[in-house]
């Protein structure tokens, strides 16, 4: 049950509320409801993203609150300008809510200043209290996120990588089929490419949050290398998807079908090996099947070179595809190296 991240987050939030409300009750800080409110809204999916949010919130409370306070002392204290600023800050706060949290937090602070200015009054003392309470709320959130069933970004990220590799393997199987049977599965192939792209984007997003969680820890660099290697591999794989849509003359590929199938099967089988290595948290050295099978392919291709049946364009396609395969194999080797580095640090 506690593997459910939503339940973990719920327990963290309830604990944070309990702590914040207890502080409110026992210490009677001024305006301690701000700490309660802040500690609730800063919870996010992972520890790294909560840290990022907390830092942004505190920074924008200081900046937004400070600028709004200055503005408050400058503009006339009539209802019209204050209401106008409130409406503008609500508008921009919502505009930026889902795409730019810094902006949203900034305008939220502006809103608070002028809302209080409208219903009672605002002062520098209140600004100081607000900043203090926001920092307190942020600290409560971070303590609960860190100590109570933490949802570490690193674990979330590493759990997604095998899913990506499994999707990449499914895509590569589709590529193999489409190469020799063009009418089949082109839509399936594109769907699989979509799934990989989506996961890769999620991994990139998680990596940003990882920075806040790990700081300068060496495992961050290893994960960065791993993600880069995955990105490069996907890039080469999806390049083949694009290229396949323009492939006209398949005669040469059909003539070399057995050699290509053996080569591609060996290459893509390495993906299964890689996934096993990831899930068992150890590196496995790949056998040099690619080089051997590539040589066999080249030997057979050399025999067909003088055959007038195969056009110049067919040969250009052949060389282009071989170039793709070599770059894919290289990127798999880089992926393996990154995995080896990461596994070594896990074993330390």
Partner 1 sequence: MNTLSHRLKHKITHFLWESDPGHLHLRQGSRTLLAATLTLLSCPWAPLYTRVLACFAAGLVCQGINSLKISEQKTTFGIATFSLLLYFSLVSYVDPYPWAIALVTVGASFTVFAVRSLGPRYALFPLFVWMMGFITTLLPGATGIAFLERLLCVGMGCGISFLVYFYCLPPRPLPYFFENIRYFTILVHNRTLALEKQLQQAIPFKGKEKYYLQLRRSLRKYYLHNQEILSSFEVRHSTQKDQLLSLLSTQYLAGKALFLLQDNLIVLSATRLMAHEYLKQVLRQALKDTSALAQLIQVDPKEREIRLLAKTMPYPQSFKDLKNLLEQSTEDMSTLVPLYQLSTSLNELRDRLFALTDAPRLMAEETVYAQ
At closest approach, how far in Å is the CB of 187 from partner 1?
8
Q: Among all chains, which residue has been given the structure tokens 């990588």?
A: 161
By beta-carbon proximity to partner 1, the closer residue of 2 and 74 is 2
Q: Distance between terminal CA atoms of the chain?
A: 30
Hey, which residues between 110 and 139 contact partner 1 (CB under 8 A)? 119
**149 lies in the site for partner 1, by CB under 8 A:** no
- Which two structure tokens, joined as six digits, stand for 306? 């003088």
**13 lies in the site for partner 1, by CB under 8 A:** yes
| Of the residues 70, 73, 79, 95, which one makes contact with partner 1 according to CB under 8 A | 95
Q: How far apart are CA 74 and CA 240, in angstroms?
A: 62
| Of the residues 23, 32, 35, 36, which one makes contact with partner 1 according to CB under 8 A | 36
How many other CB atoms are there within 10 angstroms of residue 258's CB atom?
11
CB 188 within 8 A of CB 174: yes
CB neighbour burial string for 10-35, b if at least 16 within 10 angstroms, e if fewer = eebbebbeebbeebbeeeeeeebebb
Element (H, E) at 28: none
Q: How far apart are CA 227 and CA 165, in angstroms?
A: 11
| Of the residues 190, 284, 296, 304, which one makes contact with partner 1 according to CB under 8 A | 190
At closest approach, how far in Å is the CB of 348 from partner 1?
31
**71 lies in the site for partner 1, by CB under 8 A:** no
At closest approach, how far in Å is the CB of 280 from partner 1?
29
Query: What string marks each residue from 301 to 320 as x (binds partner 1 by CB under 8 A) or -?
Result: -----------x--xx--xx
Q: How far apart are CA 66 and CA 127, in angstroms?
A: 7
Kindly state the number of chain residues that form the binding site for partner 1, as judged by CB under 8 A. 55
Distances, alpha carbon 120 to alpha carbons 54, 116, 117, 189, 276, in Å: 28, 6, 6, 62, 63
- Which two structure tokens, joined as six digits, stand for 315? 């040969």
At closest approach, how far in Å is the CB of 89 from partner 1?
10
**47 lies in the site for partner 1, by CB under 8 A:** no
Hey, which residues between 213 and 272 contact partner 1 (CB under 8 A)? 231, 235, 238-239, 241-243, 245-246
Q: Give me the residues that bind partner 1 (CB under 8 A), please.
A: 4, 6-7, 9-14, 16-18, 21, 25, 33, 36-37, 40-41, 43, 87, 90-99, 119, 187, 190, 193-194, 197-198, 200-201, 231, 235, 238-239, 241-243, 245-246, 312, 315-316, 319-320, 323
């Amino acid at each position: 049950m506690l593997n459910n991240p939503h339940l973990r987050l719920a327990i963290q939030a309830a604990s944070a509320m309990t702590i914040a409300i207890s502080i409110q009750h026992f210490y009677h800080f001024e305006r301690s409801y701000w700490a309660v409110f802040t500690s609730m809204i800063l919870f996010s999916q992972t520890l790294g993203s909560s840290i990022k949010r907390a830092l942004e919130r505190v920074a924008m409370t200081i900046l937004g609150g400070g600028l709004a306070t200055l503005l408050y002392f400058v503009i006339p204290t009539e209802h019209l300008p204050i209401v106008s600023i409130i409406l503008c800050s609500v508008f921009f706060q919502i505009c930026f809510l889902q795409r730019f949290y810094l902006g949203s937090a900034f305008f939220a602070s502006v809103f608070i200043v002028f809302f209080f200015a409208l219903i009672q009054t605002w002062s520098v003392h209140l600004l100081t209290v607000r900043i203090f309470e926001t920092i307190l709320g942020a600290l409560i959130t971070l303590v609960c996120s860190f100590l109570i069933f933490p949802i570490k970004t690193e674990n979330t990220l590493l759990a997604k990588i095998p899913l990506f590799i499994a999707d990449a393997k499914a895509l590569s199987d589709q590529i193999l089929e489409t190469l020799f049977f063009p009418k089949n599965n082109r839509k399936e192939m594109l769907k699989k490419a979509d799934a990989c792209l989506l996961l890769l984007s999620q991994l990139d997003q998680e990596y940003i949050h990882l920075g806040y969680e790990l700081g300068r820890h060496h495992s961050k660099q290893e994960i960065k290398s791993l993600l880069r290697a995955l990105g490069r591999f996907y890039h080469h794989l999806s390049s083949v998807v694009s290229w396949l849509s323009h492939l006209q003359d398949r005669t040469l590929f059909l003539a070399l079908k057995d050699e290509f199938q053996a080569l591609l099967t060996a290459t893509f089988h390495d993906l299964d090996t890689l996934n096993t290595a990831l899930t068992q948290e150890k590196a496995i050295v790949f056998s040099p099947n690619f080089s051997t099978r590539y040589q066999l392919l080249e030997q057979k291709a050399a025999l067909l070179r003088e055959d007038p049946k195969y056009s110049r364009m067919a040969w250009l396609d052949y060389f282009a595809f071989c170039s793709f395969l070599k770059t894919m194999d290289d990127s798999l080797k880089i992926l393996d190296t990154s995995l080896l580095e990461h596994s070594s640090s896990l074993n330390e």
